[in-house]
Structures are given as C-alpha cells and as structure tokens.
Amino acid sequence: MKTLATLAVAAVILGASLPASADGVLTANYGGQITETADGWRIEFAVRDGGIRAWVRDHGDKPVAASGKATLLVAGKKLDVPLKADGEMLAADAGVASADKVAAILSLTVNGKPISARFGQEALVVPQLSAQAGAGKAAFEQACAACHGAALRGSDAGPPLLHAFYSPGSGHGDDVILAAAANGAKAHHWKFGDMPKPEGLKPGQEKDVLAYIRAMQTANGLGGAAAMPASMPMDHSGHMKH
Ligand code: HEC
C-alpha cells in the first residue's frame, strides 16, 4: 500500500506542474505561458513590448469571454492595468518590455465568477556574442524581429524562438531553422498563421541568424535536450506532438 500512496502523491505533483489536456500536454496557442485553473479554465499569458496579452479558453480549448485586470510587478514597480477584449485576446498597454523580468497576477471574471492566475518571466540574458552571432543579431533585427520580437520572445505576429520547441536538441534542428529563414514556414504549431519567406536576408546570412538564435537560447536556459520537459511527446519526425 505504501507504493500506491507514493504513486498517488507523485501523480498529484505531476498534475500540478503539468496540467493535462487531451494529449497530455497543455498547449499554448500564441507561444505564451499557460496554466489551468482548478475549475478547468486555461489561461495563456504573454508579455509584449509595451503591454501584455492573455487568452482564456475552457477545458475543451474553446475561447471564452473574460474581463478583468492585471497586476504587474516590473522593475520593483507595481502596475494595475485594465484588460480590454480584442477578439479572442485580452490586451493591456503597460510600461513593460518582453525582455523584462515580470511577475503578473491576472484577476478575471469568467462566466460571472472570479478567477486568478499568476505568471512570471525572468529578465532576458544577452550574452557576449561571437562575430558570427553578432552579425546574426543585426540580420535578425532587420528580418525576423518584427514577428519573433527583438527579445526573441514573440510578438502579436509570431511565436517566441526562446522556447523549448525550438531549442537545441528539440524537434527543430538547425536544418529546420535554416529552412524557415530561407523559405518561411507553414503554420503548424501556433495560431499566428503561416510564416512568409523573410525579406532582406542575403544568401548565407541564415547561418549567422542561426548562430544568434542558438547563442540566445543557450544564454537563456534553453541549452539542450535536458532543458526540455521529458514528458513532451515526440512524433516520428522528432516534432513535438500537440
Ligand atoms: C511576418 C512574420 C514573420 C517573420 C518576418 C519571420 N517569422 Fe518565423 N515564424 C512566423 C510564424 C507565424 C511562425 C509559426 C509557424 C507555426 O505555426 O509553426 C514562424 C516560425 C518560425 C520557425 C519555426 C519553423 C518550423 O518549421 O517550425 C523558425 C525557426 C522561424 N520562424 C525563424 C525565423 C527567422 C530566423 C526569421 C528571420 C530570418 C523569421 N522567422 C521571420 C512569423 C515570422
């Protein structure tokens, strides 16, 4: 019986840290952080340059209307900002950048009931860059940052590249990143739509951009397969299933 009890405790701990969805992993639609409340509401949260975003879905992944506010702690300052509905998204302007260290509490009303959720992110680490990665940074800012964010943490037009999906040792190897930089990519992980072929990269600059992305991932704790939760299932192509 002791073993069973231990298993039950382990299951509870796992359940708390990684809320289950149909395929076992709760998936963000827009590259944000995601959590599930005790009542089964799924709340996704992201920090942008100049504001924050949130999305509320039910346990069946259907968007639900919500209203409320966010309390942010940014650089030791507390900000209370009202969230405004914008399509499926809740948005607020705030003196915050996606590179910032941010702690957030969302206080929402969903179906007439109050719910709250906490999120946080660390400050972006900008490492010493090699000559190649430095050249890649300039190219990235020109050709990629409009969608993936100057901090590589995503924007309203594209997903974060500082994400376990894209880290070294993930299903997205160097070849996938080089191919996206050269040709764009069909929408398959997120709800942003297709990535068009990037404009303004000279032949060969994809490799510089790759070096920059890898340097930023490594500096921000996405250094390799070990950084990826072991519970993320992979399909045959090495892409994570979700
Ligand atoms: C116009 C917006 C936009 C620009 C500019 C852009 N991307 Fe993307 N990118 C996206 C979107 C949207 C996706 C998500 C596709 C999906 O749903 O998986 C994406 C996906 C990716 C992926 C994952 C590809 C895959 O096969 O899963 C990589 C890597 C990537 N982008 C790198 C880059 C690089 C490098 C640049 C600059 C050279 C760049 N992107 C420019 C919007 C953009």
Strand order in the sheet with 89-93: 33-36, 42-48, 51-57, 89-93, 77-86, 66-74, 102-110, 113-121
Minimal CA–CA distance to 200: which of 132, 124, 146, 120?
Answer: 146
Q: Is the CB of 156 under 6 A from ligand 1?
A: no
When divided into structural domains, the chain yields a total of: 2
The model carries a pTM of 0.85
Q: What is the pLDDT of residues 35-44, one digit of tens each?
A: 999 889 999 9
| CATH number for 198 | 1.10.760.10
* pLDDT of 169: 87
Q: What is the pLDDT of residues 132-163, one digit of tens each?
A: 999 999 999 999 999 999 999 999 999 999 99
Say whether both 110 and 153 belong to one domain. Answer: no
Domain assignment of residue 239, yes or no: no
Choose the final residue of a domain: 82, 101, 121.
121
Domain assignment of residue 83, yes or no: yes
Q: Which of 27, 148, 177, 190 to mutate to test the pocket of ligand 1 (most atoms within 8 A of CB)?
A: 148
Choose the final residue of a domain: 58, 87, 121.
121
pLDDT over 60 (residue 240): no
Say whether both 112 and 140 belong to one domain. Answer: no
Instruction: Give the residue numbers spanning the domain of 191.
Output: 131-227
Q: What is the pLDDT of residues 90-113, one digit of tens each?
A: 999 999 999 999 999 999 999 999
pLDDT over 90 (residue 231): no
Backbone angles phi and psi of 83, in degrees to 5:
-95, 135
